[in-house]
A and B are shown apart, each in its own frame.
Chain A
Amino acid sequence: QSALTQPASVSGSPGQSITISCTGTSSDVGGYNYVSWYQQHPGKAPKLMVYDVGYRPSGVSDRFSGSKSGNTASLTISGLQAEDEADYYCSSYTSSSTYVFGTGTKVTVL
């Protein structure tokens, strides 16, 4: 199972919106609505930001939103803030009853 494809880095200025893409196949992203997104700060454990494509866990800012079209899922961060600077990973359930993560995207707040 190959990792889902994410851009290596995305950057934006405070207040701007950025979007991170996550491209898979019909056997994972395109086949199931079990796409999730995680935020990871250096030296910390990942934190769930979006689950089941577009749902936010309690306590996660509504500046984070998820969507999916075909084999590509996206995470949008609006009103970018300094604290959003982190690594972001997507993940999807697969037809093999396994999970696959994305390659990871480093978000930089300029």
Chain B
Amino acid sequence: EVQLVESGGGLVQPGESLSLSCVASGFTFSSYGMNWIRQAPGKGLEWVSYISSSTSIIYYADSVKGRFTISRDNAKTSLYLQMHTLRAEDTAVYYCARKKGIAVAGASDYWGQGTLVSVSS
């Protein structure tokens, strides 16, 4: 059974940093690209970042480019999101999601339950 478990969320002040983790199990993690997707309270989904299986391809949404860094450790079957200079508008539930198939583009077929990041003074 595919499982994705996020952790690391919490309450931080504007300008601070936070690091999220996502531990994967039930599939060959090193063979799949991964996404971070977020959802502000009561709002819609927003794609944040993508990393390919080998880490050779990384993309970011304009809203987080230069502030967030995605990475992965295939040996630990883990995905990470380092977030710096956090803003109130970064407040959201952050989901990690597996990218379906081997192409760079495509749907996210498995999602974790999410971890809440709150940015407030």
Residues on B with C-beta less than 8 A from A89 are 44-45
Docked pose: A52 CA to B103 CA in angstroms: 11
* B61 close to chain A: CB less than 8 A: yes
Docked pose: A97 CA to B59 CA in angstroms: 7
Instruction: Give residues 105-121 of B contacting A (CB, 8 Å).
Output: 105-114
Docked pose: A54 CA to B50 CA in angstroms: 23
Interface size classification for chain B: 20 to 34
Q: Are B107 and A98 touching (Cβ within 8 A)?
A: no
Taking beta carbons and an 8 Å cutoff, which residues of B are in contact with A?
A: 35, 44-47, 50, 59-62, 95, 100, 104-114
Residue pairs across A and B with Cβ atoms less than 8 A apart, 11 shown, are: A1-B62, A36-B106, A45-B114, A48-B110, A51-B100, A51-B109, A52-B107, A89-B45, A97-B59, A99-B47, A101-B47
